[in-house]
Amino acid sequence: MKVLLDSNVWRYLVDQNASAALEKCVTESDIEIVVTPSLVFETFEQLNEPVRKSILKLQALPSWTRLMPDTFLEMEEIKASIRRYRPELIVNNPDLT
């Protein structure tokens, strides 16, 4: 099961020093913690620097799944539509220089 935690929950986990407990819970179950770019951006707005750094450190743990930004996903949909309806517009070997 995928779980997206609210910014208040991240703050609570840091305040309660519960990051190890969360990691243990996640590894012992089928829970997958997901972190969105918008959540990280919201965390960057936290004014208290030590708290901000602690939350960001927790959000960046390698055991979590980081999602792609919404704009990336939207562009993937657009590209899929172009491939489906106008495949002649796709350049197979683009010059990326």
**Cα angle value 11/33/51 (rounded, 5°):** 20
Residue 3 and residue 34 in contact, taking contact as beta carbons nearer than 8 Å? yes
Average pLDDT of the chain to the nearest whole number:
93
Residue 2 and residue 64 in contact, taking contact as beta carbons nearer than 8 Å? no
**pLDDT at residue 94 above 90?**
no
Q: What is the pTM of this model?
A: 0.74
Write the pLDDT tens digit of every residue in 20-57: 999 999 989 989 999 999 999 999 998 999 999 999 99
DSSP string spanning 5-48? --HHHHHHHHHTT-HHHHHHHHHTSS-EEEE-HHHHHHHHT-S-
Residue 60 and residue 31 in contact, taking contact as beta carbons nearer than 8 Å? no
Q: Find residue 3's DSSP bridge partners.
A: 33
Residue ranges of domains in the chain: 2-69
Q: How many residues does the chain have?
A: 97
